[in-house]
Structure 1
């Protein structure tokens, strides 16, 4: 089972090996999709956790107990495809290649590759992308 979360760390938590303890103690695979973390200022990680349902639930409890603010990613990225003019501007900023142009010059959005970085929201001239909201776990 896979779930995506936003993890917010305070400045004091950044100095602790929370992610490695999470992997060892709860037998979950952790894929860091996006990170903005710095020593002395805290930060945010977007992660995908993979494991059994029970281990994922226990992982969230552990993170909350140590002071990490955990929000489950409810929806990745909202894309109002019907308004798209297939200009490709969003593809220029999409480094994981979730947004690409096919052979017919039509925009293709692969949600499985999206890391919710939000760069496409500014690149799209028609503002057809919106980063979803998170739900506290």
Structure 2
């Protein structure tokens, strides 16, 4: 099973080995999709947790217990494809290659590659992208 979460934490939690603890103690694999973390300032991680339903649930409960705000990513990137003019502006900033131009020069979106970074939201001149909503755990 895989689930994506947004993890927000205070400056005091930045110094704790949260990811290592989850891997060792709860037997979950962690794929960090996006990170904005600074020592002394706190941060936010977008992660994908892989493991059994119980292991993921126990991991989330432990994170909540140490003071991490955990929000499940219930949607990822919202793309209003019908309004797209295939200009390709979004592809220039999409480092994960979730957005690309196909052989006919039409925009192709592969949600499985999206890391929810939000760069396309700002790059699109038509304002066709919006970031996901989160549901607090």
The TM-score normalised by the length of structure 2 is 0.99
**Helix, strand or coil at the partner of 1:75:** coil
Deviating beyond 6 angstroms after TM superposition, the runs of 4 or more aligned structure 1 residues are none
1-structure distance, mates of 2:57, 2:90: 35
1:133 to partner: Cα distance: 1.1
Equivalent residue, structure 1, for 2:26: 26
Task: Give 1:6's aligned residue.
Answer: 6
CA shift, 1:132, in A, is 1.4
Find the aligned partners of 2:97 and 2:18 in 1 and give their Cα distance: 30
Residue 99 of structure 2: aligned partner: 99
Secondary structure of residue in 1 paired with 2:11: coil
Gaps of 5+ in 1: none
Count of matched residue pairs:
137
What TM-score do you get using the length of structure 1 for normalisation? 0.99
Answer yes or no: is 1:88 the counterpart of 2:88.
yes
2:73 is matched with which residue?
73
Q: Which runs of 5+ in 2 are unaligned?
A: none
